[in-house]
Homo-oligomer: A and B are copies of this chain.
């Protein structure tokens, strides 16, 4: 049975360090690391969300290199994870693609490094994801994080990963920990 979990890496709309809404640049390491985590934990798809044409071309080239080009023979362990990467111009566009496949409304989960009035714990969300008839779309922000508007529009806002007086994980590390906590050791 296909997994009901999808990941979105959002490059717009995103806060910069001054809380201005911007489009961030795509980072190669994000795509590789997150695709490999998504594949490890059985996520069904990983959407890279960016409206910038230059960035879209960059991601397309990267996927092509590892899935069909020279990289696919140099390191075949990269081929499978990058096969689940999709590119979307907006969160809504990715959402429509998922709901089109499922013929069901997608439930969105926003993540972030700070507490939110609506924060849901990892344990509770893990149980919610057990509803296999509903597709869930977990959104991760780049830069200084997802905008309040994106959080307000989400069905759930996940509690932050708590550190010891410090919580500035890279988005790559955050995705790894969040997926492990929410669907790690879940079978299929």
Contact = CB atoms under 8 A, between A and B. Distances in A.
A188 B165 CA distance: 10
A96 interface: no
Copies of the chain in the assembly: 2
A136 B82 CA distance: 36
A77 B169 CA distance: 10
Interface stretch (A6-14, A127-135, A176-184): A176-184
A37 interface: yes
Contact of A169 (B29, B36, B75, B185): B36
Contacts of A185: 162
Interface of A: 17, 29, 32-33, 36-37, 39-42, 75, 77-78, 80-81, 161-164, 166-170, 172-177, 180-181, 184-185, 187-188
